[in-house]
Amino acid sequence: SSPRPSARPWILAGALFVALVAASIGLWRSTRAADAPVLRLSSTMPGDLTFDLTLRPMIAVSRDGATLAITAIKKGSAQTQLFVRRLKDFDAQLLAGTDGARMVFWSNDGRFIGFWASGKLKKIPVEGGTPLPICDLPEPWSADWNKDGVIVAAAGLGPTWIIEANSGAMTRWKPVHFPKVLPDGKRLLYVTP
């Protein structure tokens, strides 16, 4: 009788193949992470602007990380206004018509800045222009805007509002704090009271 062939070489070959695939995937992932750009940011406020520390949030970073939207008080003014500062520039530019601006946030596409003033939720193009009212809203504490044009605005102890940015239609939702749209533009991270 002829000797029976051993399965051992095939098992070793299979184990070696699995190890090579795993090592390749690990190397590919580490290469992708190493190729990702590193962003470090250090920014100072322009000397003629000060924060009103009772407001929240006072600064919002655009989704691409290149621009700041700031609610601040300009020297000689009695109220907050909305300013835009591109990180490549030294000066912040005032967006006219934003007197009393509070609670600043960005649209998901970066074309608009949302803010609250005079009992209304408003939006303004990042380049400036006329602020457009979205809806009447008691003062919220924080808000964010998803890629489908929906704003989630949370009050401190009151309800959270789901707001259509184009129509201003509002739906009451459970109380949450500090809603943030995740990078996929659909899911929401928030703190429950």
pTM, rounded to two decimals: 0.74
Residue 46: what pLDDT?
A: 65
Residues 6 or more apart in contact with residue 128 via CB below 8 angstroms:
84, 93, 95, 96
DSSP 8-class letter at 6: P
User: Cα separations (Å) of 63 from 68, 185, 189?
Assistant: 10, 10, 15
- How would you label 55-65 residue by residue, b for 16+ Cβ within 10 Å and e otherwise? bebbebebbee
Q: Are strands 177-181 and 188-191 parallel, antiparallel or unpaired?
A: antiparallel
Residue 33: what pLDDT?
A: 52
pLDDT digits (tens, 9 = 90+) for 21-60: 666 666 556 555 556 676 665 666 667 777 777 666 688 9
The three-class DSSP label of residue 160 is strand
Give residue 150's pLDDT band: very low, low, confident or very high (50, 70, 90): very high
The three-class DSSP label of residue 111 is coil
State both tokens at 35: 């190729």
Return the closest-CA partner of residue 116 out of 82, 159, 86, 68: 82
> Radius of gyration over alpha carbons of the chain, in Å?
25
| 189 beta partners | 180
pLDDT digits (tens, 9 = 90+) for 90-129: 888 999 999 999 889 999 999 999 999 999 999 999 999 9
